[in-house]
Amino acid sequence: MASAHPPIAFYDELDSTNAEARRRAEAGEARAGWIAALHQTAGRGRRGRTWETGTGNLAATLLMTTDRPAAEAAQLSFVAALAAADLAEAFVAPEKVSVKWPNDLLIGGRKAAGILVESGPRPDGQLWMAVGIGINLVTGPQSAERPSTTFAEHMAVPPPTPQMALSILAGAFEAWRLLWSTRGFSAIAEGWTRKAHGLGQACSARLPQETVEGVAEGIDADGALRLRLADGQIRRITAGDVFFGDA
């Protein structure tokens, strides 16, 4: 599934594609567009972590605007995860591809991409959105918190170039975004659930002040993860890192 997508601007090097998107947004840029770099000198991941962009990998950010409230706009992280999964399935056996809450792409149970969504207010009352996506096409990070993998590890031929990968990713993102726009988050939740890793399995959710243990049951209408605790109660996880035994 793919659709015509916003224009792509590729650079040899940037500090961070998300940082460049923020600069453009704060300068008044309103047109949607992808910003990509072959190398990042200060790439960033979720929760303040650094993000390594090794040679041959993809680092890209979609800058766009929306009139959705911030809480709804954050659902674009799930859209991004599904687009990344579509990209992976174009080159890797689909049965190896899954997504883990909230927006990790897994191949063979190991992390192959990272997604960072940032936003800010515009003078016209809308939000600017920077949807950053980093894909391990050729190399994985040297100091990963959890096991990582690459497209290359699961392919018998060379992986796609960053330019080819982004062309596919951007088309897939636009298709899922249009679905989100016309049918709401329920359609995205359905797609995410079909590809979800770990549903029905025990996991731990690391939150800022505690770690919660339970069984992952699915996501709610707002994207929160439902955890079934040992006493049978449901705990909604809206932010944090979730770890399963194998990923």
| CATH code of the domain containing 234 | 2.30.30.100
- Alpha carbons within 13 A on the beta-carbon side of 31: 8
Q: Answer yes or no: are the C-beta atoms of 61 and 40 closer than 8 Å.
A: no
Most confident of 45-49, 54-58, 116-120: 116-120
* Domain co-membership, 226 together with 152: no
DSSP 31: S
Look at residue 116 and tell me if it is in a domain: yes
* Residues 209, 190 share a domain: no
The H-or-E segment that residue 147 falls in is none
Distance CA 191, CA 88 (A): 15
Domain-terminating residue out of 175, 195, 215: 195
Question: 216 and 123: one domain?
Answer: no
Domain membership of residue 55 (yes or no) is yes
**Same-domain status, 190 and 147:** yes
pLDDT band at 3 (very low <50, low <70, confident <90, very high): low
Of the candidate ranges 18-22, 69-73, 140-144, 197-201, the one whose mean pLDDT is the lowest:
140-144
How far apart are alpha carbons 84 and 170 in whole angstroms? 9
**Does 216 lie in the same domain as 102?**
no
Dig out the tokens for 217 from the structure. 């049951």
Report whether pLDDT(20) > 80: yes
Are 211 and 166 part of one and the same domain? Answer: no
Shared-domain flag, residues 19 and 120 = yes
pLDDT at 239 over 90: no
Contact 225, 244 (CB under 8 A): no
Dihedral of the alpha carbons of 70, 195, 166, 73, in degrees to the nearest 10: -10
Q: What's the residue count for the chain?
A: 247
Query: Which domain does 223 fall in, by range?
Result: 202-244
Give yes or no for residue 51 having a pLDDT over 80: no
Residue 21, in any domain of the structure: yes
83 and 151 co-located in one domain: yes
Place of tokens 């040297």: 142
Residue 229 included in any domain? yes
Q: Is 2 a domain residue?
A: no
Q: Has residue 137 been placed in a domain?
A: yes
User: Based on the domain organization, do 26 and 100 belong to the same domain?
Assistant: yes
Query: Do both 32 and 141 map to the same domain?
Result: yes
Q: CATH number for the domain including 152?
A: 3.30.930.10
Contact 116, 17 (CB under 8 A): no
226/144 same-domain check: no
Residues 6+ apart with CB under 8 A from 231: none
Q: What is the DSSP string of 199-239?
A: TTSEEEEE-SS-EEEEEEEEE-TTSPEEEE-TTS-EEEE-S
Whether 3 is in a domain gets the answer no
Instruction: Give the model's pLDDT for residue 44.
Output: 60
On whether the CB atoms of residues 97 and 88 are closer than 8 A, the answer is yes
Show the tokens assigned to 47.
Answer: 């929760």
Q: Are 212 and 184 found together in one domain?
A: no
The reported pTM is 0.90
What strands lie across the sheet with 234-237, from one edge to the other?
Answer: 234-237, 225-228, 211-219, 202-206, 241-244
